[in-house]
Amino acid sequence: MIRVINEPHGNDRNEQARAHPDSTGAGPPPVDLVLPCLNEASALPWVMERVPAGWRAIVVDNGSTDGSAAIAEKLGAVVVPESRRGFGAACHAGLSAATAEYVCFCDCDASLDPSLLPGLVDRIRRGDADLVMGRRRPTRRGAWPPHARIGNAAVARMLRSRTGVRVRDIGPMRAARRSGLLGLGMTDRRSGYPLETVVRAADAGWRITEVDVPYLPRSGASKVTGTWRGTWTAVRDMTSVLREPPTGERTRAEEGRR
């Protein structure tokens, strides 16, 4: 049974029931939504308001100092603390805490709308794909800085060369089955985690697709791609992921060292 963190009062009760669908003992939620969070106090109300009904929001607090954890808890999320800094560390902590059959990931900065995620999950349920990712489409100038778009395009080209997978965006919005994601055995705990997921899924023969999603100007400053330096660090992390040999070769190499 999923733990209810706070006893809700007044209007909070509706939010609590939505984010904790098994608080009455009905069983695990149909979908767990992992929301990596680092100082997103201003964005959390907008994000939580758009969590699909019946889904459970797992907010992974990655060392926030602005009260994000308390706000997320008040809004009905399950809060998972992750002391190790890094986008991948937060994502994997959320995945490890999930119990639903399906797991979705979304940024917690109000740049992506969680209410669009059921469309991604439906493609998996129908058997059309194993991993569905949101391809970000900026809604206005400045929503996606040029340096971040250039870095993303470069990584997408390298991904295609390494795996043959043709996607145009290595974005943070995605959906897959929890058991499958855990089976991929991701090890990156920094900015390379989203790409590592795609690389290992491709090596495992997953069907990977993307759907267009609107990309809004984020709330606050980006922790990763807000500057050229941040973007370069992310690209460096992702390049390291692409240097890994395919899963079969990696397994044989590990066995040869034993």
Query: Residue 238 pLDDT > 60, yes or no?
Result: yes
Which backbone phi and psi does 16 adopt, to 5 degrees?
Answer: -65, -40
Catalogue all structural domains in the chain, each as residue range(s) with its CATH number: 12-242 (3.90.550.10)
C-alpha span between 161 and 199 (Å, rounded): 11
DSSP-derived letter for residue 196 is: H
Q: Which residue(s) pair with 132 in the sheet?
A: 175, 209
Residue 114 DSSP one-character state = G
Q: Across residues 215-220, what is the average pLDDT?
A: 83
Torsion sign (Cα): 184, 241, 158, 195: positive
Give backbone dihedrals phi and psi of 135, rounded to 5 degrees, phi first: -90, 115
How confident is the model over 52-93, as pLDDT tens digits?
A: 999 999 999 999 999 999 999 999 999 999 999 999 999 999
197 pLDDT above the threshold of 60? yes
Residue 114 has pLDDT above 70, yes or no: yes
Query: Contact 59/108 with Cβ under 8 angstroms?
Result: yes
The whole-chain average pLDDT of the chain stands at 85
Is 248's pLDDT higher than 70? no
Q: How confident is the model at residue 150 (pLDDT cuts 50, 70, 90)?
A: confident
The residue whose two tokens read 């390049």 is 239
As a whole number of angstroms, the distance between CA 258 and CA 246 comes to 19
Tens of pLDDT, residues 26-60: 566 899 999 999 999 999 999 999 999 999 999 99
Indicate the residue type of 233: T
* Residue 27 confidence (pLDDT): 67
| Cα 183 to chain centroid, rounded | 17
pTM: 0.82
Which tens digits make up the pLDDT trace of 154-193?
899 999 999 999 999 999 999 999 999 999 999 999 999 9
In 3D, which of 82, 6, 75 has the Cα closest to residue 37? 82
